[in-house]
C-alpha cells in the first residue's frame, strides 16, 4: 500500500493505492464525512492479502486534499471523482462509498457508464423526514430563543440539536447542508448496474429503514446486514465486510 499525490484540474489530490494497483480492474473507495482515504485501512489489509487492486482518495476538503469550492454539492464531488478516474485511465472500476462517499457513488452510478458495480456501506442519500409537530416546535423555539433573558440558554439547546458533523464542519458547513438537503432517490432509480448494500444493524446515522429504501429504489441491489454493527461497521467488523465485498466482486 502506498500514498501519493496527483494533480487534477490544478488541485492536489492525496490518494492511497494498493501495491498491485491495476487501472484495468480496481476498487475505488470514497470515504464518509470528516474521514479520509485511510479510514478503510483494516479493509485494505485484507484486500492486499488477496491481491485485490484498490484506490482510495481524500475527497476535496478532507485529509490532504484542499477544498476546491465552499459551496459544492454532491454532483460537484461526483464530477470531480470522474475526472480522477479519467486522469488515471481507470476502466470500469467498482465504487465503494461509505456515508457521504455513498452519496457520491450513487450520483456517479446513476449516469456514468464507466462503472462496473457499486458497494454502499451505511450510505447516506435519503432525506430525513420530520412530522408537522417538529416544525411547530422549531417555530416556538425560534420565538423563545429570541427573548434576551434566555438567549444563552437557547444557544446551548440549539447546539445540542445540531448534529456532531455539522458542528465540527467549520468552513465545510455549507457543503454539509447542501449534502443533507439533497434527496438522492431520483438518482437511485436510474442505477442499472449491480449494487451491494452493507449495513450495521445498530446504525443510527443512516438507519436500517433507509437501507431498505435504497435497496428498493436500486433495482439490481442486495442488502447485507451485520448484527451489532454501527455506522462504522467497516471498522468494527472488517473481516465480515471484506467477505461480502470479495464475494460481490469475484
pTM reported for the whole predicted model: 0.85
Q: Output the pLDDT for position 69.
A: 81
Report yes or no on 177 lying in a domain: no
In a domain, 218, yes or no: yes
Bridge pairing between strands 27-30 and 54-57? parallel
Q: What is the pLDDT of residues 146-172, one digit of tens each?
A: 555 444 545 454 444 445 544 455 668
Query: Does a structural domain hold residue 101?
Result: yes
Query: 205: domain range?
Result: 2-127+182-249
d(CA 250, CA 245): 9
Q: Domain for residue 33, yes or no?
A: yes
Helices (H) and strands (E) in the chain, counts: 11, 8
CATH of the domain at 212: 3.40.50.1820
The predicted pLDDT at position 157 comes to 42
Residue 133 included in any domain: no
Question: What gap in Å lies between CA 115 and CA 113, rounded to an integer?
Answer: 6
Question: Nine-digit cell at 239?
Answer: 473481516
- Has residue 153 been placed in a domain? no
Q: Tell me, what's the pLDDT at 179? A: 83
> Distance between CA atoms of 223 and 233, rounded to whole angstroms?
14
Among all chains, which residue has been given the C-alpha cell 464530477? 79
Judge whether residue 11 has pLDDT over 80. yes
- Cα separation values, 237 from 198, 202, 241, 244, Å: 11, 13, 6, 11
Give me the number of domains the chain comprises.
1
Does residue 135 fall inside a structural domain?
A: no
Amino acid at each position: 500500500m502506498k500514498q501519493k499525490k496527483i494533480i487534477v484540474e490544478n488541485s492536489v489530490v492525496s490518494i492511497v493505492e494498493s501495491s498491485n494497483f491495476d487501472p484495468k480492474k480496481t476498487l475505488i473507495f470514497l470515504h464518509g464525512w470528516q474521514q479520509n482515504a485511510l479510514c478503510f485501512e483494516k479493509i485494505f489489509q485484507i484486500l492486499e492479502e488477496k491481491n485485490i487492486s484498490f484506490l482510495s482518495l481524500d475527497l476535496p476538503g478532507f485529509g490532504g486534499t484542499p477544498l476546491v469550492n465552499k459551496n459544492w454539492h454532491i454532483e460537484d464531488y461526483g464530477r470531480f471523482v470522474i475526472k480522477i478516474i479519467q486522469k488515471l485511465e481507470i476502466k470500469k472500476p467498482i465504487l465503494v462509498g461509505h456515508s457521504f462517499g455513498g452519496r457520491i457513488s450513487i450520483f456517479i452510478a446513476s449516469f456514468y457508464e464507466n462503472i462496473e458495480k457499486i458497494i454502499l456501506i451505511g450510505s447516506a442519500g435519503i432525506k430525513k423526514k420530520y412530522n408537522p409537530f417538529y416544525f411547530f416546535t422549531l417555530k416556538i423555539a425560534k420565538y423563545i430563543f429570541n427573548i434576551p433573558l434566555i438567549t444563552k440558554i437557547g444557544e446551548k439547546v440549539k447546539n445540542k440539536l445540531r448534529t456532531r458533523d455539522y458542528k465540527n464542519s467549520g468552513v465545510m458547513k455549507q457543503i454539509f447542508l447542501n449534502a443533507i438537503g439533497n434527496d438522492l432517490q431520483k438518482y437511485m432509480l436510474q442505477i442499472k448496474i449491480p449494487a451491494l448494500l452493507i449495513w450495521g444493524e445498530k446504525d443510527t446515522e443512516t438507519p436500517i429503514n433507509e437501507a431498505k429504501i435504497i435497496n428498493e429504489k436500486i433495482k439490481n441491489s442486495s442488502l447485507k446486514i451485520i448484527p451489532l454493527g454501527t455506522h462504522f461497521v467497516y471498522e468494527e467488523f472488517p473481516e465480515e465486510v471484506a467477505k461480502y465485498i470479495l464475494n460481490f466482486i469475484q
